[in-house]
Structure 1
Amino acid sequence: MSTIVDLKVKMDHINQYENGYPLISKDSILNANDLTNEGTIVHLHSQNGQFIAKGYYGKQNKGLGWVLTQKKGVKIDFTFFRDKILTAINKRQAFYKDETTNAFRVFNGEGDGIGGLTIDYFDGFYLITWYSEGIYTFKDKVIRVLDELGDYKGIYEKKRFDTKGTYIDDDDFVKGERGEFPIIVQENGMNYAVYLNDGAMVGIFLDQRDVRKVIRDTYAEGKNVLNTFSYTGAFSVAAALGGSKKTTSVDLAKRSKSKTIEQFSVNGIDYEQQDIIVMDVFDYFKYAKRKELTFDLVILDPPSFARSKKHTFSTAKDYPALIKDCLEITEKNGVIIASTNNATFGMKKFKKFAEKAFKETNTAYKIVEEFSLPADFQVNRNFPQGNYLKVLVLKKLN
């Protein structure tokens, strides 16, 4: 797009952009009302006209768009996209060569230099997620880069244009061959069924790869495992493959049961030997206490915000209460794997949530290990919110 809109940056935000902060936020811009067409290239200037950075206008829940370069002379053209995507792919060569894993992130938004865009790889298929109408205007350039690389089976896309991050239901197929779904992908030798053509989510969260591996390799053997907010049961599969005595998967969504059965089945696990329960997790905690059920390993990976008929849950407010609930059904020396993808707070605050829960229940504990995003989820060090994943392995000591 040939039009360039000059945006005036407020005085107290100039330093952060000069230091490489990538998100163009509404509160940092004086003349945000000058923005009309998404996809427009923008120049950030100080109020006395000094150039700071160049980016694009694309509204999403995080802001007005993203900085792409601090060099005025750089054109946001096909060459720009090719250089960024090729650099990202070169960094992932170890993943392409890994014989036990064929599902991973190829391009991670601002972490790889273009906010609002992610590209995932699933056994020869690329899945592009566009987070605004603005980034979607560059679609032809991104597809052309993948075409130049070649050697793919097909390309699918997800549009999450709504400023609340809502998925836009559309035909997800872009080009190449259509997949026969589910595609069975491998992750550290485990099998997972994924659907690139069936709504916003594909059936597995790639950012939890390291956590699934450590559950299988370190924490599951001989254990009675509870997986809450279990989605398609990916953690339960890892636990079962790690030799758990039994897994119990609990999720409110009706389709979680059939999806979890499918994930067990593609790994040759007899799902009838596992418990798969469709129930509000908070109701299940009450049920488990009533029945005096206890677990050696409890996995907590709630959505940032959830609402059911009886409960409203927000990780930012309610996580300590969630840990307290599960402490009552966790055995002595049992392990709680607590996870959140809420980007509004960091690991330090998350550790405080855990501390609060254990302190209020007079329970001793130790943090055994912690995880953040895996290596393929490249993070921009000037944008801490981008490193959203926080996982704590907590051992209950009494």
Structure 2
Amino acid sequence: MKTNARIRKMLGRDLLAELEHHLHPLDCQTCGGPFRGREPTLAVHSEGELTTVALHHRKCLKPGCYGPLQTSLHKSWRCSALLLEEQSPVFFVVNPSCETVQIETTGNGWRITSLDMYWNSGLSATLVPSVMPPETLIATLDGKRLTVTFTPVGTSLPFTWAVGGLGERTMKAIDSYATIAVVVTTALNGGPVRGLRDVTEPIAKGWAASGMARVHFTPETQRLRFTDFDPNTIADLFGVLKGIIKNRLGVELEDRPALAAFATCDGKYDMLPLLSGMDRYLSMLLVASVYAPSKTKGTPGEGVHIVMPDQEVDTVVKMFQTVFADLDGFATGRLPDDYATADIAIGTLDQYNACPTGRGRLLITDRVTVTAEQRAPYRRVVDI
């Protein structure tokens, strides 16, 4: 970076050396054009107590000290989403400001303050972050595109970053955990993150802020699909349940509800709404059984939730409990009391609204309407 004597005296050798790790010449902060390998000039911009260090083309601005930066429209951000290890959440690593850094005087020197906003909003300086409230940090999966939105505490102005073209393994991990680890660092140089060291090193040096973000899913992403479970596995499960239903309920599972459930598991939702009575309930039971985990045991966000008309809830709960009565560790219950402990929990719209949070593997709504905000945290949704 091109400097001059005034900047070197003002900032000092230590800060200038540190800035080499935090300033990355992508686009000029005067004209917005790319550097294309040309050496940038470094300028210090001051406005009251706010001091910003920025990179410019040499022809656009000479090294020196100036008033406030004229625009933030040229500021670049770069992000990567990657699965660093098997059996771990996806990491979303973002540099929110490649060519600018905020600094403040400490009385005997300077410190970089670009990450203060994130730390002050609850993000952690360690690699063991907590889950952030969605009003501060939230992720949205839309097909193969992952978007992260950060809203600093005390403001209503969000920052949004996105990465597309996610691989199947990465998408499956996002779907499985329904949370991602977000790492914000100005030490990311604009290239792709290639391994765990690119994440842990900035954190170890105090150059990163991290937090876990819950994932919201768009309606198209929430459609059931055969890539969730092998169709042969689903057919085998339905065959087993057919015998259990005959034994416990004394009724035959006819082809029509079975075919409707099978089609629903492939994202074709037009058959199930045509059913009524016992056929409708049995078809919902088959779909729910595919997605229900076993032994949820108090893990919020892992169950299947079914929301339906008031007058039918008692009948359906009793039927489900009868069918699954002797399955070891498998629980069918009611909303809201069994929301966190049941593998399948069933209730009315009012009971569902009383749940602490609407998270789960699958939400089935039967002739009731829930809000978009309630639907978004579910991996899959079926509207009947």
**Which category of TM-score, normalised to the shorter sequence, fits these structures?**
under 0.3
TM-score by length of 1: 0.27
TM-score by length of 2: 0.28
